[in-house]
């Protein structure tokens, strides 16, 4: 779909202290990984793909035009880095996926009859609840 090696070269990695499990280890090591990527200046995607990414991931792109992904799930910086790259690739694959075209269908004759029978049954039930007219 797209060249991940070239994409990997365009990513900027930052590391920060992260909370969560790890005790004192958390306070000493920078295991949180923050990936920053500029979709508009990418050489991996065509202009139409860039526009699609910009529109689909608009909520995740900040005012500087950066797409940021941060992961702090594990105690290992390397594992968090792998998770963050996988998350970014997954986001891009979903953004570039074309939606299936809906095929228009008509309800079958039996489904129409069932619907009308249920309507009649419901109507009869309501009519039985009414007080009789004198």
Report, as an integer, the average pLDDT of 10-19: 90
Q: How far is Cα 78 from Cα 4, in angstroms, rounded to an integer?
A: 18
Collapsed DSSP state (helix, strand, coil) of residue 93? helix
* % residues pLDDT > 90 (the chain): 63
Tens-place pLDDT, residues 26-36? 788 888 999 99
- pLDDT tens digits along 46-90: 999 999 999 999 999 999 999 999 999 888 899 999 999 999 999
Question: What's the confidence (pLDDT) of residue 69?
Answer: 94
Question: What gap in Å lies between CA 38 and CA 6, rounded to an integer?
Answer: 13
CA end-to-end distance (rounded Å), the chain: 76
pTM: 0.71
pLDDT of residue 133: 81
φ, ψ dihedrals at 11, nearest 5°: -80, 145
């Amino acid at each position: 779909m797209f060249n991940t090696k070239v994409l990997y070269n365009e990513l900027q990695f930052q590391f920060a202290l992260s909370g969560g499990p790890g005790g004192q280890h958390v306070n000493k090591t920078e295991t949180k990984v923050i990936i920053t990527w500029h979709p508009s200046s990418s050489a991996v995607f065509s202009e139409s793909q860039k526009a699609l990414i910009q529109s689909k991931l608009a909520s995740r792109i900040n005012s500087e035009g950066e797409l940021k992904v941060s992961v702090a799930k594990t105690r290992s910086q390397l594992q968090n880095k792998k998770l963050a790259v996988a998350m970014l690739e997954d986001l891009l694959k979903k953004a570039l996926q074309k939606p299936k075209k809906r095929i228009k269908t008509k309800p079958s004759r039996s489904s129409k009859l069932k619907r009308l029978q249920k309507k009649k049954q419901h109507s009869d039930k309501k009519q039985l609840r009414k007080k009789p007219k004198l």
